[in-house]
Amino acid sequence: MKRNGIVFVVSAPSGAGKTTLCKELIDLFPRLRHSVSYTTRPRRQGERDGSDYHFVTAERFSAMVAAGEFAEWAEVHGNCYGTAIQTLDDWRAAGEDVLLEIDCQGAAQLKRTCPGAVFVFILPPGFAELRQRLEGRDTDAPEVIERRIANASIEVREAAWYDYVVVNDELPRALEELKGIVVAEGARARRVLPGVAEEFRIPLPAADSGGQGSQP
């Protein structure tokens, strides 16, 4: 069925399991694409440039900010991260749904500028479990882990303004919940009706019939 692409914005404190859950979600929904962000953070072992992130220098990142190339960007844990406008435009033009894994500061920017986007916050079951996951992942130095846990206690408060909150206690259960969100958002009347209204002669409210292009 033809409909406009949906922008899903997913945030979580580092170590909550966002990357793990989002990878599984993208495997399940052929229409859902991962937005590849730009970052100045050094590449971790196993990460690939252009598919996990576009890894760029601080100078290149600043130049992109100055040129207005980002839909949102933020400094997180001492590094810069951003979503290029071009990345979102490419997927939207193709009618694909796009999944952004970004921090709360970036999500708050999109809340203002991207009407129709869907905001999902992933919580770990608790702080002790969060620490265990960060240590178990074995990708960050102890001082980096401490900084991420300190930030987490502030970040979790942002969950209050998101559309959905998923507690990632058991991975399969949390994934089911996320799947439910993606399916339900795709079935929203305002997204489905424009594609079938003509066939069934269903009248659309003026804003929906005319403004769909800007309502992802």
Q: Can you give the binding site for ligand 5GP, defined by CB under 6 A?
A: 14, 37, 41, 72-74, 76-77, 81-83, 101-103, 105-106
On whether the CB atoms of residues 156 and 126 are closer than 8 A, the answer is no
Query: Of 39, 40, 83, 168, which lies in the binding site for ligand ADP, with binding defined by CB under 6 A?
Result: 168
Nearer residue to ligand 5GP within complex by CB, 130 or 193: 130
175 contributes a contact to ligand ADP by CB under 6 A: no
- CA-to-CA dists, residue 98 to 84, 101, 126, angstroms: 13, 10, 29
Nearer residue to ligand 5GP within complex by CB, 17 or 194: 17
Nearer residue to ligand 5GP within complex by CB, 4 or 39: 39
Q: Cβ contacts of residue 125 below 8 Å, gap of 6+?
A: 167, 168, 169
16 contributes a contact to ligand ADP by CB under 6 A: yes
**Shortest Å, Cβ 128 to ligand 5GP:** 20
Among ligand ADP, ligand 5GP, none, partner that 136 touches (CB below 5 to 8 angstroms by kind): ligand ADP
Can you give 44-108 as a three-state secondary structure string? CCCCCECCCEEECCHHHHHHHHHCCCEEEEEEECCEEEEEEHHHHHHHHHCCCEEEEECCHHHHH
Among ligand ADP, ligand 5GP, none, partner that 82 touches (CB below 5 to 8 angstroms by kind): ligand 5GP
SS3 18: helix
Binding positions for ligand ADP, rule: CB under 6 A: 12, 14-20, 133, 136-137, 168, 170-171
